[in-house]
Structure 1
Amino acid sequence: MKLSHLALSVALAAAFVGVRDSAIFDRLVDVVKGGTAADEAASFELASLTAPAGKMSRYAAPNFREVVPTPATLPDAITTSATDPVVDESALRYFASRGDTVRLQAEISRLKALYPNWVPPKDPLAVPQNADTALEDMWKLYSEARYAEVRKAIAERQAKEPTWKPPADLMERLNVAEARLRLINASDLKQYEAVVTLGSETPSLLTCSEVDVLWRVAEAFFRTDRAQRATDAYNYILNNCTNTAERLATVQKASAILPAPAIEELLAKGKVLDNGAGEFDSLRDDLARRFIADANTDEKKSVPAAYVERLEKAAETGGLASDALLLGWYHYLHKNMPSAEQWFQRAHDKEDTASASQGLALTLIERKDFLNAEDTMYRWRDAPNEAKAVYLAATANLLAVEPPLPIKVDVLQRIAAEVIKSRDPATAQQFGWYARALGQPQTAIQWFRTALGWKLDDEPSAYGLAVTYQQIGDKAGLAQIQRLWAGRSERIARVGEVETEAERALRLRQERMARPVVAEQPVVQKQQIEPQRRVVAEEPAYIDYRREEPRRTVRVTQEAAPARRNGCKTTVDPRTLNPNTALSRGWCLMDLNRPLEAAEAFEVALLGANAKTREDAAYGQSLAYLRAGLSSKAAISAAKSPMSQERVVELQRAILANKAISAFDDDRPREAILVLDQLKQLGPERTDLMVLKGYSYLKLKRYGDAKKIFEALAATGNTDGLSGLATVNEATRPGKRD
């Protein structure tokens, strides 16, 4: 055995068995230096040196090396001179006669390793048969893989001829062949520990001529949580085996189980081909697909940028919709929405599938293009994998847009049909708010009642029903809904109370908050409807978006509030009006929920000579900007004219509340908490803002602070407090908290 070859065997044996004892390692070094037959035998027994007595099969690991016994140890090698042994070539004839070129080549390689000076016959079929015809028949049975019959033939002959012994080569090959079958069977049955044991007990199987066995042992290592040894096994093949197809298959098999860094290590073993290309370049696109597909199942996984770029290039040049789709989901899960939308759009344009449409719709929802999201998903709304949930997310968000978008009648009708079919309370609620915004209170009432029929504890729908009853003057309906929600919703209980302009502005803001934006990846959950106290859900009337008559809110105002006047439905340049008329027009526009136009009218009123007019104009403009969500402009307007202390405090509280809500909506919980702390200094905390503060702490994972707030609210019977407390408890239960 050559020194370099033996060194490789020793190194691999040490790596796979896990040599830690210095004496054992020194013994291995002696084997490399001396190279005697006795020392070589010692290297074969390495597993037994490193395993406890009686437990070799459990602890031993395969020693991956080419097994090359010395010719002197083979009893069936008949030596005719000091250097020329007679080689048993009978197996060559059998393999050649059966056309088994794989085994023929393996046998030639084996004999060459055993007898370096041996020259293979040009025609294996011309090898003379043994004079021993019974032995010839045994070899024939062996060549046909009829190993049990070989055993039977040997036993029968030994019974007849007690002094006869089968050739050692035949017995060795028979033992190895049977071990191969046991190993393959164990591998097929996923008995991976047995595979490792059989490999360690039969080192002659762990050679390049048995690459399938090497693959199976490598997989067994991986499946038994020894990934590094699996990598070593694949590396052994690439370092020692030369068959091009088998090398390529080795990387393919490894890529199916090993992580990306280990695959990179294997790819580095590739040779440079004559054309200058890398040996494994053809695999890299498939590897990129596999790595990205794996990452698409776990957002915590990342893929090396080189593989992402490689698949992007393949998608651009090859044009496969599947590649674009993989990239779309990868970028979506890693929050790169512009790239996700680009690739989803390419996949959708190339092949309109449910997955492509779903991904594209989700990115459109993220970009707040809800109309196109609905249109994209409508065709695939009934597809599996949460397609209906994505479609309803698009519809709910579409109806929640402020100010309301004009939606075609046929689109509204198909949305309504799907909402009723799916019994989706979220979109039904949004239909209610949409109808209110278009001045259709009766239709809004039907939709709010429908939502409550599907989800009895839907407080936003109940609140929408209450304010709509108040709007049309239905005192009995309002009283009924307030009675049903007594002790469960403070804002429903307060509907109809006298309110200041600031309170009204915040109420309108609350109404917008009652229209939640549906999550990016919503899941449709079936609501369990209790039979008692059920509100009968009628099929709501369709909204006629063409009706532009704005809604009017029936409300009681403070005596100090300026008088409202009709006559602001037509478009007028406020700069053509005198200050007093502009002031009246500003309040009229506020009643019509046109705050930005009202702000322009109040700006003209600020030019008036009368101090009271200027104060009312500054006050009105601040409220207009608050209603439009422009807190900074509201603060500037409040400083344009001196006001009473009552109004100053009222506006300060309204502006801070608006800023806190905006900060929370924009996912800035720390800023929301700071603003709410400022607001607390101006007076008692409002219940709804305490809820907001609790959820801000929850976003920051300050569970203790959040729990204190929700416990205080829950003690009063507040449902938002109870819900928040349940959320905190769920987030902090053992095994759940990050």
Structure 2
Amino acid sequence: MRTLILSALLLGSSALSSMAAGPDAVELAGLYYYAEQKQEDRLAAETNRLRLKYPDFVVPADVYAPAARQMDEGVLWALYEKNDFVGIDAEIGRKRVESPEWSPSEDFSGKLARRKQRVEMTAATARKDWMGVIEAAGTLDPSSETEVDLVWMLLDAYAETGARDALTGAYRGLLFREGDKRLPDVQILTTMKKSTRDFSSEEVRKAMRLVATSPALQAGLQPVELDLTRKDVAGFNADEKRQTPVAEGEVAVLRTTAEKDGRLEDLSLLGWYDLKLKAPESAERWFKAALAKRRDEENAKGFYLSLAAQNRQEEAYAVAQDYIEEFSDDPEFLMNALSLRFSRPDQPDADVRTVTAYSNAILSTSNADHAEILAWYAYNARQYDAARAWFGKSLDWESAPVRVKGLALSLLRLGEKKDYAALEAEYRDVYPEIWTEIKVAVAPKGEKRSVAVEMPTAAATAPGGTGYLAHFKAKRFGACIKDISAMEARGAASADAMLIKGWCHLELGRLAEARNAFEAALGNARTQQDAAYGAALALLRGRLTDDAEAMVSMYPLSVKRDREVRAEIYWQRARSAFDHKQYRRVLDALNARASLVAEPADLSQLRGWSYYHLGDRGQAQAVFARLNMHLYDPAAARGLAVSSTR
């Protein structure tokens, strides 16, 4: 449990000094510039802006007087309007060559520093460089900052980096200002809405009670209250151990809103909520409404489960078939959804698409129970070769007497006396009770099923467990490769076998061979994603960074795998750039990596030294100081010492 909650910290805020009565010199600088340039429309707009901010503001009498400007900064202001900071530096340098004693006015320097800060924070936010946002914010004070959107950027950065104390302090500074510095209601509402992401519902509600000082603001906070209900319902749905539901008064408001607005996220939330509460009829209604808006895998799963919970198995099975491609991403769910067709004798024959999907799901999960179900399905259909393969596979994954019995019966029906004898010799002492039953068992009757039950990968392993999959599972990588190579020589190596061959070569450090095997499996839709992932890893281990990036760009991976591969790509690029003294490229690569995964200390050191070599000692010092605060490290301490020396 957090030791400090938002409301407790907020209550400790003290009164702040009142806001200045009028604009300072920095704010007036633009007014003088527009007057000097005779840009009357810009002058009028700036005047209106200042009057909105300072109701008693009067335009200075000398605004058009030549004495109002002590130096010609017209070019600088023009470049300022374009955010051309390089051009500004060049112009300042040119002026100093002409007049060494000259320096920009305090008005311009102050306004330029703020504009640079905004540009840097906005750019860092866009690329999700959260440490960059914090560093660019510098001494920005949430309790007095007038440009509130800058503080909102800082809130995002604190939230993403886990800086809880700083995050809470920033919220306190925004929400609990007093007097003239109190935020307008619209900004309070936006800030409260953001807080629902960062704090518990209880903490946010306590803060809401403190800031909602008017009926108008209380009414405006109703959407925030609804967001908190959504958060509470989502938390209940996600917590498997939690059984106490959300207060019905809260949920009733969400139900009414969902009925009225039909927001997809609300329909889905309520569907899973009612399903967990064992109200499948209500859940079915929500999921059906959600699917009417958009075809979606998760809502289809909820719809299937709602129907199954009502024992409407045929309707549930129809949903599984309709979403068979989407459910393939979750083979465990797909197996259970399709197994009805294979586990009960009163069911119609499964079609080719269903058999293939079920088979692939079984192989991807190595599920012995479902392999056994499919094996008996094939056996009773008098497809004895397929039955032999699937019984062998289920036995390879998990031994059981019924699986040995099924394999033995399949061998008998095929007339494979030698293999039957070897199987009996191996298992007679393990399962002695099954052999008498096997010898008197009657062959299945009825017509052979029209759809063949095939093994998508190579033939099942022999009863002794000596196939390539058995070798792979036992980490006998050399033997695994030898078996698959023999299959290749016969022209019988499947895409699945080539995928396994790639992993074996990779485990043995044979990078070129691994790459070749993985690329051979890229042409099959079922193995393509795994093959692309394996090929990318092989390329990265060989430091072929660009080739690895091309691979994952051509063959998209899952979100988790893509993040893993790209993080390694950016790390290799950062290391290479540092070795070649290309320090700006180092920072670009590290920033890209930090948008994907957390940055460890060794990479932060690389960041600090890159800033140092680029001459940005302030940034370098900030990085090394942060490292030194969390964990003393001689390298970080040395970096801090060097970057602090002028």
TM-score by length of 2: 0.50
TM-score by length of 1: 0.44
Q: Could you say which structure has the larger radius of gyration? A: 1
Q: Which has the higher contact order (CA 8 A, sep 6+)?
A: 2
Indicate the structure with greater helix content: 2
